Amino acid sequence: MTSSPSIVVVGSLNADLVARVDRFPAPGETVRGSRFEVFPGGKGANQAYAAARLGGAVALIGQVGGDGYGLWLRTHLQDGGVNVHGVGTDATTSTGIAVITTDRTGENTIVVVAGANGTLTPERLEPSAAAIERASVVLLQLEIPLETVGAAATRARAGGARVILDPAPAAPLPHALLALASVVTPNETELASLAGHAAPILPIPTDDLDRLARGLIGRGAPAVIVKRGERGARFVTAERALDVPAPAVEAVDTTAAGDAFNGALAVALAEGASLDVAMPFACAAASLSVTRPGAQPSMPTRHEVEAFVAARRRGQP
Ligand code: RIB
């Protein structure tokens, strides 16, 4: 990797195979879909793309397979301004795939098949080690091997970068990894899962939310931002908690709203903004993303977010 991006994302790339349905099928049931599309996705790639759209200097480190999807995903990211020199190809496997259904309310279900994302070993980070160490923000998720997430976090902290750890999809996390993060950004379901609870009834009451977040803090995380969808986000540390509302919008597709949030948070933090500024910016980017279908195609530009925030301030919809 030659350039020196301020934001480095180490994570997944997926082709999202998306079927629109009126309602989700029950187990054993077949429902008719109204539309099928293929979108560029993957939590790592989405967050990198989101950050680049918002003006960040971003590099993505990941793996694709030797198929057409891999080339397509790399090209789409590159066209969006993401440095993809750190995206390798493992011709022995297929590119990551997400099979997604979205219903009429914009909600989704997702099944992810890791494919090449599972071949991003810690050794494969080595050519990008200097970029990780020089970054000001490193963004990590859990769609790649956990030991690689740990290795990237270790490198990042050694170089002085802030580490945003998005624990999605939720998986048991070692205390050492939580302690390497600067901030952990689960949604409510992931937060409950990290505490060993089954799918909670949403929204989780604030007291319970704070207790769960402080459970993560007790296991090493310095701070937690809980992404709450249309309810915005809640920042929790051992000492304080802060709610940031999300601007109300008409949701078309909530896929990758969390990725828009994380990408925007990374951009704001890399620019030196405080969390009081970064969180509303991230909530605005996430709100805008749900008004459009698809993962990466839904990511707003910097201009769109600023215009949206300004219009809301003036009381316009
Ligand atoms: O966060 C949304 C993403 O999750 C989708 O793009 C899909 O690829 C899955 O990884």
- Residue 311 CB: number of other CB atoms within 10 A? 12
- Residue 22 sits at φ, ψ, to 5 deg, of -75, -45
pLDDT digits (tens, 9 = 90+) for 203-212: 999 999 999 9
Task: Tell me whether residue 259 is one of the annotated catalytic residues.
Answer: yes
Average confidence score pLDDT of the chain: 96
Looking at residue 4, its pLDDT comes to 62
Residue among 60, 120, 259 whose CB has most ligand 1 atoms within 8 A, to mutate: 259
Looking at residue 94, its pLDDT comes to 98
Question: Closest residue (by CA) to atom 6 of ligand 1?
Answer: 41
Quote the crossing angle between the two packed helices 43-53 and 257-270, to the nearest 10°: 50
Please give the distance, rounded to the nearest whole angstrom, from the Cα atom of residue 180 to the centre of ligand 1: 24
pLDDT digits (tens, 9 = 90+) for 209-231: 999 999 999 999 999 999 999 99
Question: Closest residue (by CA) to atom 2 of ligand 1?
Answer: 256
Q: Is 144 in the pocket of ligand 1 (CB under 6 A)?
A: no
pTM tops 0.95? yes
Residues in the chain: 317
Which atom of ligand 1 is nearest the CA belonging to 16? 8
Written as six digits, the tokens of 112 are 């992810």
**In this structure, are residues 244 and 216 in contact, taking their beta carbons and an 8 Å threshold?**
no
Which residues 6+ apart lie within 8 Å of 124 measured at CB?
A: 63, 88, 148
Q: Is 190 in the pocket of ligand 1 (CB under 6 A)?
A: no
Question: Closest residue (by CA) to atom 1 of ligand 1?
Answer: 256
Looking at residue 2, its pLDDT comes to 37
Which residues 6+ apart lie within 8 Å of 313 measured at CB?
A: none
Percent of the chain at pLDDT above 90? Answer: 95
- Residue 215 sits at φ, ψ, to 5 deg, of -65, -40
Which atom of ligand 1 is nearest the CA belonging to 41? 6
